[in-house]
Structure 1
């Protein structure tokens, strides 16, 4: 592999820099893991290792980083309270029964919007005007139970 030259470590370093810059755009911690692998290969190449060993170091370090480090980084970044959005943000809201709600039929008003509703407990029914608690959203159906303030 003479065509790669004596300064292959510079090539590995450049690859590491490019991958790290691409990571800034993606923020998925994938390109960064490959960038770290490229920097490890650059270090081995600077010590005079053959190209094949550099490739093995690149693959080994990148693979290890992807499987061992990345999941922990992603988990740490994404931990903390999350706010439910969309229709799942309705869980925990109070609703008013618009049409009798049973295990088979009914409608409620949630934040001014009419929703098809079903009771959580099949033996329960709620009459119009009753305040209920939304405990789940299953597609277009709100599952409700008695509201306890």
Structure 2
């Protein structure tokens, strides 16, 4: 019993390691929170706290982790990436004008490896061949674009 009281931190670390490995099987983020609590118990044991204090510290830490940390982690893991589908994925991309366009004349541009019908988003702008444009909106099969100023220095 003397050895156990002198090496309580090792027992806590063993419990933490066991729970951490078991978490790899369950993947529900409960056992890892309990493992963090056991780690806190190990720290308190290494600092010389009594067994009752070690158990209270381990339990309080595990409960706090389960209540405060786990819900946000589960929500983050269950949330997938924002998917942008269809023509909306082209909004914000840049292309090169291949046919002059004005507010009255629809031109063409090269965008994402394809040729698109394009018109200026601002009807008063004229966009010449070779200019780089950014897609603001897609309506039907026409991209509405705005020229990007060149950075000539």
CA-CA distance at 1:8 after TM superposition:
0.4
Please report the TM-score for the alignment, with normalisation by the length of structure 1: 0.52
Q: Which residue is equivalent to 1:38?
A: 38
Residue 25, structure 1, aligned to residue 45, structure 2: no
Q: In 2, Cα distance between the equivalents of 1:42 and 1:81?
A: 38
CA-CA distance at 1:80 after TM superposition:
1.9
- Structure 1 residue matching 2:6: 3-state secondary structure: coil
Q: Which residue is equivalent to 1:66?
A: 66
Q: Which residue is equivalent to 2:144?
A: none
Count of aligned residue pairs for this structure pair: 83
Q: In 2, Cα distance between the equivalents of 1:13 and 1:29?
A: 18
> Matches of residues 1-149 of structure 1 in structure 2 within 5 Å?
2=2, 4-80=4-80
- Structure 2 residue matching 1:37: 3-state secondary structure: helix
Tell me which structure has the larger Cα radius of gyration: 2
Q: In 1, Cα distance between the equivalents of 2:2 and 2:29?
A: 33
Q: In 2, Cα distance between the equivalents of 1:5 and 1:68?
A: 31
**Per-residue deviation, residues 51-73 of structure 1 (Å, max 9, x unmatched):** 00000001100000000000000
Unaligned runs of 5+ in 2: 83-153
Unaligned runs of 5+ in 1: 83-149
- Structure 1 residue matching 2:49: 3-state secondary structure: coil
Q: Which residue is equivalent to 2:126?
A: none
CA-CA distance at 1:3 after TM superposition:
6.8
Q: In 2, Cα distance between the equivalents of 1:27 and 1:60?
A: 22
Q: Which residue is equivalent to 1:97?
A: none
- Structure 2 residue matching 1:5: 3-state secondary structure: helix
Task: Give runs of ≥4 in structure 1 deviating > 4 Å.
Answer: none
RMSD of aligned residue pairs (Cα, Å): 2.0
